[in-house]
Amino acid sequence: MATKLLLTFAICRLIVTVGLTLDPTELLLLGVDAQLSVDPTDVKAASLDFGLLTGAQPPLAVMHPASSQDVAQLVKAAYGSNFGFTVSARGHGHSINGQAQTANGVVVQMSGSIGGSGVASGRKPPYPRVWPQERFVDVWGGELWIDVLRSTLQHGLAPKSWTDYLYLSVGGTLSNAGISGQAFNHGPQISNVHELDVVTGKGELLTCSEEQNSEMFHAVLGGLGQFGIITRARISLEPAPQRVRWIRVLYSNFSTFTRDQEYLISLHEQPASQKFDYVEGFVIVDEGLINNWRSSFFSPHNPVKISSLEPNGGVLYCLEIAKNYHESTASTIDQEVESLLKKLNFIPASVFTTDMPYVDFLDRVHKAELKLRSKGLWEVPHPWLNLFVPKSKIADFDKGVFKGILGNKTSGPILIYPMNKNKWDHRSSAVTPDEDVFYLVALLRSALDNGEETHSLEYLTNQNRQILRFCDEAGITVKQYLPHYTTHQEWVDHFRNKWDRFYRLKMEFDPRHILASGQQIFTPTNMASWQ
């Protein structure tokens, strides 16, 4: 009875706030398992994300679904109402610019509880189900990748492609792409999916794959949540390694650095013994960064100075590579690593190596998160800028941004690593540069209120704009990863030759623009304008 009263209260608030002309019993048909909460803690939490850049109004309510059917019934109610309300799926809340928020509708909290409504449904979304013989796992769209890993490791298996941070939802990363240092070899996470269950903007629950509803399948992967809410994903698995040899080497010459990175990713078709399993890198523009959380190899008791490696006080580049292995093959790992390193041209005295369990390597950023949280440096604004830069222009980017705009100060890691375009399925909605090799450049800065201008949110935001303006003026056709635009034309330019298909599928699967309105690609419509 208490649950039904709470649900009724939430529905009435929706009606009063939005001016809906629907019978409350329409939404009551959701049943008591579909938790629609207006608890202030739930609502406030759903109005925030990792970026802390938006001052979005809180949603009207938060749903804690127990099944795909719960999500479908909510979206169907929104689609069928006279004036409608928006529905946004939220995973772990790691968006930067409010992409998972909505001020005029319901946030579907896919990844467990974010607040304190205290309302228990008695049901939970299904746990990951591993199919050892077939080598895939079925997971709820809100499952965090760390929990997927834990489930598959019980069978000696693991997903092939990762993100650097595992406390992200499966549906969230698949709606973008999901990239890390394995992407050169296995492609992004969206290239390692067998099947999806998706709730469309009409409230239809579709199963899609290469063979079934294939157009929807490819549209949803990298589709920024515009066509449907992913409620189940079937993820490809491989035998899980036990340990990782993790290596970092330094460069002072950018062309040498990129040449070595590009050589390493060119080995993707070689046998496992003749290539690394992970290739990333980062840029060091000030001496403070070389000893920060991304550079944990460097002993704090013996800090490394840029000036000792680059006498002219320039920029340094760190190649980050890793090789997976099993304890049964440990006797050959030294020889394999040495053979690969001999072909690289890094600064000889700059090799830093460590060895660790596979799980610890994949979960390394979470450990850094805990340290930052303890210092109050995690829940701060994050004006991140993630760009795909074509190989042909990466040297121009280095000269204009790393050696120019950034100066010698930054407030967070700057990742840079190449990927092979042929590992990306062109049928997905994800957008990449039109070259065989392109780079991710990720400026992962944190805005701090510590009195230093270069750490302020205003300074870093302006610097991001300056970087984008430089790229435009220099003819560097970058593509934003985790894109954020505010005008229709910017979105059209972003998708370019994919836009017509993107728009057509939006009108087919979400004609009222109910879903993921926080992306600001389409404006939600009411029934009058829709008709």
List the 278-284 sheet strands across, edge first.
Answer: 352-357, 243-251, 316-325, 278-284, 414-420, 437-443, 385-390, 479-480
Catalytic pick among 39, 42, 49, 94: 94
From CA 52, how far away is CA 48, in angstroms rounded? 6
280 is catalytic: yes
Catalytic pick among 164, 260, 277, 310: 164
Residues in the chain: 531
Name 231's Cβ contacts closer than 8 Å, sequence gap at least 6: 67, 68, 71, 140, 141, 171, 197, 198, 199, 205
Nearest to residue 227, comparing CAs of 94, 87, 60?
A: 87
472 is catalytic: no
Could you give the residue ranges of the DSSP H alpha helices within 207-253?
A: 214-220
Nearest to residue 59, comparing CAs of 82, 39, 79, 74?
A: 39
Token pair for 196: 């999806």
**In contact, 188 and 168? CB cutoff 8 Å:** no
Nearest to residue 7, comparing CAs of 89, 70, 81?
A: 70
Per the rule left: phi > 0, alpha: psi between -120 and 50, beta: everything else, 497 is: alpha
Collapse the DSSP code of 287 into the 3-class scheme (helix H, G, I; strand E, B; otherwise coil) and give the result: coil
- Max CA pair span of the chain: 74
238 is catalytic: no
Residues involved in catalysis? 94, 164, 280
